[in-house]
């Protein structure tokens, strides 16, 4: 079973290590120890409710054993663009027609936009390569739905996720080379680092304010607009299975797509269910099968998530072993939220 918990001060070294390991293009995890220290401090303060709900940034880490080190992380930004201006390109069209010439043309455009400001963002998803097994990636991504379902009042109804855009093994981004480099005299990795550090003033100062006509870009730059990095495709597929859809916005540096869903319509939020704990002894019940369920307590500061292969339910109660209850930090009678990891067909309503 995997255990998910809020990040803590003692996780700093592992956070810095994972940020370095994540590579170019994961903007939310820049390879900078000072920035990672600031990010961790903000997350800890968020769980301690020392920040307003709009300023909060929640980071969770995954452990494969109760005493093991963090091997992955994920985050929820309560409101984007509150302290830093949030930029995307909005995909649009210009229609040009001439009856005299018998021409009708639709031209794709990119327009610099702040339209996603105020949305809740799912981000900072990273799992170490050796631990990409036993559905850890799915567990890490979807545990956030339990937190959203337990505390919906803290978040926007509009929930987005920005996907890492295409770049090759050497970090070469065709979109950056075709567009960004024309306005910024720097490498893609440098621009990515500055954005991750929160230094976005240079975007407003240097980026063109008028629509960019996509056909004017090099063919290889055009071809990757809205495409994701190969390593990001599984994350995109998981989000789409939960009801997220591309919303017509892309990243200004690598053209990775943004996806969006209404909070109450996210599949994982809708199929989560609130049950109460009953603790039972179940000798020899060692979880060795592929996990199919997520269980989360409803404690804000000491939130815990747990993946299990099966659940034992009795009406409005869920039966937990003492070890499971201990991992979740719950007692008999406490409420927990339960979710099947497998997406279900969307329902009306």
Which residues belong to the active site? 229
Contact criterion met (CB below 8 Å) for 328 and 337: no
What are the structure tokens assigned to 253, written together? 């540096």
- Report DSSP letters for 56-99, one per residue: -EEEEEEESSTTSPP-EEEEEESSTTSSS---EEEEEEEEEEET
Q: What is the number of other CB atoms lying within 10 angstroms of the CB of residue 199?
A: 11
- Report DSSP letters for 171-214, one per residue: ---HHHHHTGGGT--S-HHHHHHHHHTT--HHHHHHS-SS-EEG
User: What is the rounded CA–CA span in Å between residue 146 and residue 339?
Assistant: 8
DSSP state of 25: T
């Amino acid at each position: 079973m995997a255990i998910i918990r809020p990040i803590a001060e003692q996780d700093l070294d592992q956070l810095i290590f994972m940020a370095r390991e994540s590579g170019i293009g994961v903007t939310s995890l820049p390879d900078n120890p000072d920035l990672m220290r600031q990010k961790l401090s903000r997350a800890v303060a968020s769980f301690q409710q020392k920040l307003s709900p709009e300023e909060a940034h929640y980071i969770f880490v995954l452990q494969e054993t109760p005493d093991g080190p963090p091997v992955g992380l994920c985050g929820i930004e309560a409101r984007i663009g509150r302290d830093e201006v949030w930029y995307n390109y909005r995909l649009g069209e210009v229609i040009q027609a001439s009856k005299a010439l018998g021409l009708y043309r639709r031209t794709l455009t990119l327009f610099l936009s702040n339209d996603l400001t105020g949305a809740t963002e799912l981000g900072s998803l990273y799992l170490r390569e050796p631990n990409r097994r036993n559905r850890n990636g799915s567990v890490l991504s979807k545990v956030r739905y339990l937190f959203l379902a337990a505390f919906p009042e803290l978040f926007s109804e509009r929930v987005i996720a920005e996907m890492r855009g295409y770049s090759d093994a050497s970090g070469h981004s065709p979109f950056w080379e075709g567009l960004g480099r024309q306005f910024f005299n720097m490498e893609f990795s440098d621009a990515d680092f500055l954005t991750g550090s929160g230094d976005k003033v240079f975007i407003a100062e240097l980026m063109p304010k008028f629509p960019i006509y996509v056909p004017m870009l090099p063919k290889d730059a055009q071809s990757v607009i809205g495409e994701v990095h190969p390593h990001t495709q599984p994350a995109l597929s998981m989000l789409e299975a939960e009801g997220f859809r591309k919303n017509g916005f892309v990243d200004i540096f690598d053209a990775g797509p943004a996806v969006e869903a209404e909070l109450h319509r996210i599949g994982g939020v809708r199929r989560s269910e609130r049950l109460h704990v009953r603790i039972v002894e179940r000798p020899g019940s060692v979880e060795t099968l592929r996990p199919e369920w997520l269980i989360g307590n409803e404690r804000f500061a000491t939130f815990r998530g747990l993946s299990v292969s099966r659940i034992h339910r009795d009406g409005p109660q869920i039966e937990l072993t003492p070890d499971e209850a201990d991992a979740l930090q719950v007692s008999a009678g406490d409420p927990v939220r339960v979710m099947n990891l497998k997406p279900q067909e969307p329902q009306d309503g």
